[in-house]
Amino acid sequence: MATMTEIESAVSKSMTDGASKNASETLLLNLETQHTKPLWTQMTKLNPPLPNPTAIPYVWKYDEIRPHLLQAGELITEKQAERRVLMLVNPARGEEFLYDADLFD
């Protein structure tokens, strides 16, 4: 049977945990109003604890890409894009892995 001190300690911890949870939720809401998000909630997704590679080996051949780079330099003006850059997209990962969508929500 638990002593009164153990019960009081458990109740106090529960209340502290609840208050802490409420404070954390309030913080997240306040961050949202400032158009920010906490990195610590995203770290597992951005930097998983164990490697889980989905990319496949792929070779981008400059000789094949170069004509497109040159064409982009001719067709796309500086007003349209300050930099005419081609991103190397791994065929197994697709566009959703080019950036973290949460950065642009």
Q: What is the mean pLDDT of each run of 10 residues along the chain (105 residues)?
A: 57 60 90 87 78 86 94 91 85 65 43
Among the residues of the chain, which ranges form H helices? 4-33, 43-46, 62-75
For the chain, give every domain's residue range.
1-36, 49-105
CA-based end-to-end distance of the chain: 52
Residue indicated by tokens 């009164």? 4
pTM, two decimals, is: 0.44
